[in-house]
């Protein structure tokens, strides 16, 4: 395994992060525990979860994923071997069964306390805001809708004050963003620069893959100049970059088959790009999965690459990508395809 550090900290984390969002829906508890056992054995010491998980979110399964992780910590005693990240859900339809009060002080405190109880731990290493409260473009929206109604009052100072107090209490160690824009990222960073008692956002968890490299526009410069590390999610585009959906009959238990509304990476242009990437991988004797993940691993702004799997076979292949080195010829081929079909799946 290769390791990095959460920026501006001494916390050493694996460059491959174990994602957990299918546990409790597509994976049962035994399967989740098997994944954690194997990942830890392979040197993966960074696990990412959220109160929203499993997804697609539903009231009956609220926060089951955190409960499964907590049961594993209790069973194995491995809490001190894992750098643990979780998130508070933002407001909106996907989280209406959780709360409707956004990132108020009471909401954040309640969310942290509830996650700690489910996770059966005294602290969370990295606590993230899952998505913004305000009207902006995330979760596949191509552009900013300037005409949308937005009743958000700028409460970023208050949010950081609440997070500061939780850090002081020892309940969380560091904080990060997720699904954030360049404006939002700089707004948080500048607030903590001006008010130095407030905590600094250490990481940003945004989508990044061969099918969606929009992080490179705006956010990559912020990431590198401000040292706020990318935690790349959906590096395989909901599994599309495995190539398994290129067949005439899609796999029966695969995510996009089970949940057709998860189609962010399945448009005609994304399929066309995936075919080209698959041809490039085959030409160089690589699996498409490992080429796609290894590409993400090469990015200078990457702190950790969040992989997810519903089978042990997938998990093994995903983790092994850390040992794949891409030749200059492969990287040049990727750039040629990207020039032809740039960012087909935002």
Q: Which residues are catalytic?
A: 53
Tell me the three state secondary structure of residue 149. Answer: coil
Contact 20, 49 (CB under 8 A): yes
DSSP state of 238: T
The Cα–Cα gap between 36 and 48 comes to: 11
Strand partners, 136: none
Q: Exposure pattern of 309-332 as b/e (b: 16+ CB <10 Å)?
A: bbeeebbebbbbbbebebeeebee
DSSP state of 23: B
Q: Which of 117, 154, 116, 118 is nearest to 135 (CA)?
A: 154
The Cα–Cα gap between 344 and 341 comes to: 6
Q: Which of 223, 217, 232 is nearest to 292 (CA)?
A: 232
Q: Tally the residues of the chain.
A: 346
Contact 237, 212 (CB under 8 A): yes
Q: Which of 113, 125, 88 is nearest to 103 (CA)?
A: 88
- The backbone region for 139, taken as left when phi is positive above 0, alpha when psi lies in -120 to 50, beta otherwise, is left
DSSP state of 107: H
């Amino acid at each position: 395994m290769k390791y990095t550090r959460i920026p501006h900290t001494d916390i050493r984390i694996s460059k491959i992060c174990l994602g957990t969002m299918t546990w409790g829906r597509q994976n049962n508890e035994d399967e989740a525990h098997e994944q954690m056992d194997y990942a830890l054995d392979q040197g993966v010491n960074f696990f990412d979860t959220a109160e929203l998980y499993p997804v697609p979110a539903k009231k009956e399964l609220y926060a089951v994923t955190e409960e499964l992780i907590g049961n594993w910590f209790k069973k194995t005693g491995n809490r001190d071997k894992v750098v643990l990240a979780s998130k508070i859900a933002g407001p909106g339809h996907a989280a209406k069964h959780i709360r409707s009060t956004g990132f108020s002080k009471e909401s954040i405190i309640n969310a942290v306390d509830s996650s700690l109880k489910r996770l059966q731990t005294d602290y969370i290493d990295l606590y993230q805001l899952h998505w913004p409260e305000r009207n902006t473009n995330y979760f596949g929206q191509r552009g900013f809708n300037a005409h949308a109604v937005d009743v958000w009052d700028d409460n970023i100072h208050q949010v950081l004050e609440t997070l500061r107090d939780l850090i002081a209490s020892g309940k969380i160690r560091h904080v990060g963003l997720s699904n954030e824009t360049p404006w939002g990222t700089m707004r948080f960073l500048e607030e903590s620069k001006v008010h130095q008692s407030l905590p600094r956002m250490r990481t940003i968890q945004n989508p990044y893959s061969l099918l969606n490299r929009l992080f490179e526009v705006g956010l990559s410069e912020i990431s590198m100049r401000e040292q706020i590390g990318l935690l790349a999610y959906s590096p395989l585009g909901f599994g599309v970059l495995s190539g398994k959906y290129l067949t005439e009959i899609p796999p029966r238990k695969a995510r996009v088959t089970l949940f057709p509304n998860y189609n962010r990476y399945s448009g005609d242009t994304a399929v066309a790009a995936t075919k080209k990437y698959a041809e490039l991988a085959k030409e160089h004797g690589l699996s498409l999965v490992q080429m796609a993940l290894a590409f993400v691993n090469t990015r200078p702004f990457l702190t950790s690459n969040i992989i997810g799997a519903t089978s042990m076979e997938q998990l093994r292949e995903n983790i092994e990508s850390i040992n794949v080195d891409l030749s200059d010829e492969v990287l040049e081929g990727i750039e040629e395809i990207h020039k032809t079909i740039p960012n087909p799946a935002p």
